[in-house]
């Protein structure tokens, strides 16, 4: 990730997140210290401490930033009558687009993941929550036992496609899009996407 100077409009919180991702791209994540992040962000250690108590908290805030970008896109791009599978496809592709500026950092963290299970474990709840919001924003219920199964299945699909995305340097992300479409088609029934479409159709018919 290219080095970027903080602008006056950036909040200390954003400066810390961006600094951590910049350093992770070249230094990796596991050995990165909070003191180094503070220096890169141009802030004192105590300022970082007031906002984030750990590197895991910084990473969680980064993922929340990505979640907000994805959900904002859902509100802007939603179309009446669009199939749930297409909505989920678009939402996950928006996630990859939002992650694109940080791809080098994510590659570095992915290489370290097998040797850093604690960080992976700490991030799991946030990723599951992101998948739940993805489903809900696409009109697919994510509550109850059935919802939990859908969430875990969507997360498995996302992580499998993420590995391909990390190596996909094509301008149109054709490999990523092809695999994501394939996986969603195969799992459409289990994700409840077909059921959601049927319920929408039934509702439209009764309204008419």
**Does residue 155 lie within any of the structural domains?**
yes
- Do 58 and 37 contact (CB within 8 A), yes or no? yes
Q: What is the CA radius of gyration of the chain?
A: 19
**Does residue 33 lie within any of the structural domains?**
no
- Do 61 and 141 contact (CB within 8 A), yes or no? no
Q: CA dihedral defined by 16, 22, 27, 30, rounded to 10 degrees?
A: 50
**Does residue 133 lie within any of the structural domains?**
yes
How far, in Å, CA of 172 to CA of 138, rounded? 23
**Does residue 43 lie within any of the structural domains?**
no
pLDDT beneath 70, residues of the chain: 1-9, 75-81, 195-208
**Does residue 83 lie within any of the structural domains?**
yes
**Does residue 73 lie within any of the structural domains?**
yes
**Total structural domains within the chain:** 1
pLDDT (0 to 100) of residue 120: 79
**Does residue 111 lie within any of the structural domains?**
yes
User: End-to-end CA distance of the chain, in Å?
Assistant: 53
pLDDT (0 to 100) of residue 80: 54
75-82 LR contacts (CB < 8 Å, sep 24+): 81/200
Q: How many CA atoms lie within 13 A of 88 on its CB side?
A: 34
Structural domain harbouring 157: 62-199
How far, in Å, CA of 187 to CA of 47, rounded? 46
pLDDT (0 to 100) of residue 3: 45
Sign of CA dihedral 98, 100, 104, 106: positive
Query: Roughly what angle, to the nearest 10 degrees, separates helices 55-77 and 117-137?
Result: 20
**Does residue 23 lie within any of the structural domains?**
no
């Amino acid at each position: 990730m290219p080095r970027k100077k903080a602008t006056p409009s950036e909040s200390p919180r954003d400066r810390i997140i961006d600094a951590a991702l910049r350093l992770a791209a070249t230094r990796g994540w596991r050995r990165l210290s909070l003191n180094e992040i503070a220096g890169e962000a141009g802030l004192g250690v105590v300022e970082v401490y007031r906002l984030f108590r750990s590197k895991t908290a910084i990473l969680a805030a980064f993922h929340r930033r990505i979640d907000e970008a994805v959900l904002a896109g859902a509100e802007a791009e939603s179309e009446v009558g669009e199939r749930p599978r297409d909505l989920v496809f678009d939402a996950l592709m928006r996630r990859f687009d939002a992650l694109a500026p940080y791809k080098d950092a994510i590659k570095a963290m992915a290489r370290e993941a097998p040797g850093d299970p604690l960080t992976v474990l700490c991030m799991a709840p946030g990723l599951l929550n992101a998948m739940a919001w993805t489903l809900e924003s696409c009109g697919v219920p994510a509550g109850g036992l059935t919802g939990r199964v859908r969430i875990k299945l969507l997360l498995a699909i996302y992580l499998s496609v993420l590995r391909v995305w990390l190596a996909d340097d094509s301008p149109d992300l054709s490999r990523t899009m092809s695999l994501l479409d394939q996986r969603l088609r195969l799992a459409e029934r289990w994700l409840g996407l077909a059921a959601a479409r049927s319920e929408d159709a039934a509702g439209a018919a009764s309204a008419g």
